[in-house]
Structure 1
Amino acid sequence: MKKILLLTATLFVAVLFSACSDDDKNENIDPSQIIGAWEYVHYYSYDKDDDGDVDEFEYDVIQGDENWYKLVFKADGTFTKEDARGVDTDTKHYYSIKGNTITKKHVYTDGASDTDVQTITTLNSTTLVIEEVEQEEGYYGKSVWTYKRI
């Protein structure tokens, strides 16, 4: 009887630990899921310095607001950005996804460019959440952009 109880307890612990896996972290994003139009709807930021000072900032974005825009991701690895003034034709935008990392490159008309390396924390049929963490000596910051599919 003790062996049965021991075996049952061992199986219970094994099932418990396997049920608590990291499968829900979207570590392997299917890049085809991002293709389409996404409207920027929410922003959150968190900043903390070594002195312990914390700043949190959060707001909803409404179409027509100065911060509103939409992104349209295409299958060829490019995307467009459109705000209230229209589509940004002065900048060429490229993206790639590996695992849950999205790399976005912006190339400007003067030849200059910059690159954003961010983490996709949620990507499903209705919601895209992208997070960027900045950490250096004396500072930790996180920005989170939420989009809805349109």
Structure 2
Amino acid sequence: MIEIKKHSGIYTLTVMQQLPIGLSEAWEFFSSPKNLERITPDHMGFIITSGKPGKMYPGQIISYKVSPLSGVKTSWITEITHVKEGEYFVDEQRFGPYRMWHHEHHFEENDQGVLMTDKVSYKIPFGFLGSIAQILFVKKQLKGIFEYRVKVLDEMFQKG
């Protein structure tokens, strides 16, 4: 399930995915920033520029290069602001293409494995022009990125 809602000028994208793996395997994979490259579409040109970070921790700064639009490269710097081992972690943009980016990653063990929920709250810069960009391509691009992740993760963990 992927949905985007708007509230008070902020958009919230929510993605829920059931994975047929244990909580420890899910946590080990998703809490390692180096795996972001594996689950990001190639056309995004996603590269971690701060080296291959090890185990995440609150306060960790990670820098990337990413191409949100064809031919346009930008730097993106995030901070891991919260970590509760085996349950959730949060990354927030410190510098990048969004006016605000707050990404929560939640993990809940159940009978089928792990339910993973991504909740991304974001705000686009440029006021009215940003709202038009959201309608014309940002919403579609974000949905596409997360649809790609769902597909890759299903293939990686051999679901379906």
Rg larger in structure: 1
Q: TM-score range by the shorter chain?
A: 0.3 to 0.5
TM-score of the aligned structures, taking structure 1 as reference length: 0.33
TM-score of the aligned structures, taking structure 2 as reference length: 0.32
Higher strand share: 1
Higher helix share: 2
